[in-house]
Amino acid sequence: MSVRRIGVLTSGGDAPGMNPCVRAVVRTALYHGVECYGIRRGWNGLINGDIVRLDEKSVAHTINRGGTILYTARSSEFMTEEGQRKAVSTCKFLGLDSIIAIGGDGTFRGALALSKYGINVIGIPGTIDNDISCTNYCIGFDTAANTAIECIDKLRDTMQSHERCSVVEVMGRNAGYLAMYVGLACGATAVLVPEEPIDFEKDVIEKIRQARFNGFTHYMIVVAEGAGKATEIAARIKEAIDLDPRVTVLGHIQRGGSPSGRDRVNATKMGYLAVELLLQGKTNRIVCTHEGGFTDVDIDEGLAMKKSIQQMEVDVLAAMTGI
Ligand code: F6P
């Protein structure tokens, strides 16, 4: 399998660390004498031929930048056979033999579709949701978690002064990894995630009571967006015990900001590894972390895997929240 021209794209929700990853792909490719092209606006860019040549300079000063210099999109057209055929014809026309796609599960499904037409593909997990089953770590999770933690620490100051209850909604789509991590880091009174069944009386109201018995007069309830709306949780708390919670939906602020050191270094390693895999003749792989190191799995296998919240996080949370 010959690798002469690599295209790199970012797709789905952006995540801090995507730029260091693109930078690593470009620099590793150039280091090996392989040409590298940026496909802009996700899979749409491959359909529409929205492609730019990337050189050393195009990725200079991007290691510390949030967002993605390649722009991103969720492409419904690429999910159709016609869209995929258009993308393949762009690859053939431009002589792009390999694509590195940075994103989430939807991005990998797109890569898998492309591979059926004989294009070499490698996926790199980039999503603040950290919900890709074949890997413990996804690019952007660390920065997003730290952003949410910083915001909640600030909220705590004012909640403490006013002796209030705060309900904070954290992103994560259908997954609770971000909320659980952030809740543990912020010493939340309760954390609600979609993976764990919720008994409102036991998991929220009793925890607030327990905190009160422990001498607290402010309460921080962290809700994963997939577990329910913060406004509804707040209304139920008011109805049950007549507290008047303040609601904060952290929203897209969690996706912005300069990537953390961890996200920069891991993204750089993953970008490097993606190119090395192609040069070793591998295709149809997802770069992932495993037992503290980096490895790769087949895209089909990776997409079929399941993961859940670590039992240890659930147990630790139970111990920290006093029930
Ligand atoms: O997948 C990343 C994510 O930020 C999710 O946490 C969230 O549910 C979704 O994207 C929001 O999507 P959009 O930016 O399209 O509103």
Question: What domains can be seen in the chain, in order of their start residue?
Answer: 5-140+259-304 (3.40.50.450), 144-255 (3.40.50.460)
> Whose alpha carbon is nearest atom 7 of ligand 1?
173
Spatial distance between the Cα atoms of 247 and 164, rounded to a whole number of angstroms: 11
* Residue 106 Cα distances to 125, 203, 253, angstroms: 11, 33, 22
- Integer Cα distance of 91 and 71 in angstroms: 19
* 129 among known catalytic residues: yes
> CA-CA distance, 46 to 184, in Å (whole number)?
41
CB 67 within 8 A of CB 22: no
Full-model pTM: 0.97
Q: What is the pLDDT along the chain (323 residues), one digit of tens a residue?
A: 789 999 999 999 999 999 999 999 999 999 999 999 999 999 999 999 999 999 989 999 999 999 999 999 999 999 999 999 999 999 999 999 999 999 999 999 999 999 999 999 999 999 999 999 999 999 999 999 999 999 999 999 999 999 999 999 999 999 999 999 999 999 999 999 999 999 999 999 999 999 999 999 999 999 999 999 999 999 999 999 999 999 999 999 999 999 999 999 999 999 999 999 999 999 999 999 998 899 999 999 999 999 999 999 999 999 999 76
**Strands of the chain, DSSP E:** 5-10, 35-39, 51-53, 98-103, 120-125, 165-170, 190-192, 219-224, 246-249, 285-290, 293-298
- E-assigned strand segments in 29-145: 35-39, 51-53, 98-103, 120-125
CA 309 – ligand 1 centroid, Å: 19
Residues with CB under 6 A from ligand 1: 13, 127-129, 171-173, 225, 255
**Among 10, 107, 171, residue to substitute to test ligand 1 (most atoms within 8 Å of Cβ):** 171
Q: How far is the CA of 251 from the centre of ligand 1 (A)?
A: 9
The three-class DSSP label of residue 192 is strand
Token look-up 């002589």 returns 95
What pLDDT was estimated at residue 120?
98
> For 42, phi and psi rounded to 5 degrees?
65, -150
Cα of 13 vs centre of ligand 1, distance in Å, is: 6
Q: What is the pLDDT of residue 31?
A: 98
| Integer Cα distance of 167 and 155 in angstroms | 10
Model pLDDT, residue 255: 98
Query: Ligand 1 atom 3: the closest Cα is on which residue?
Result: 13
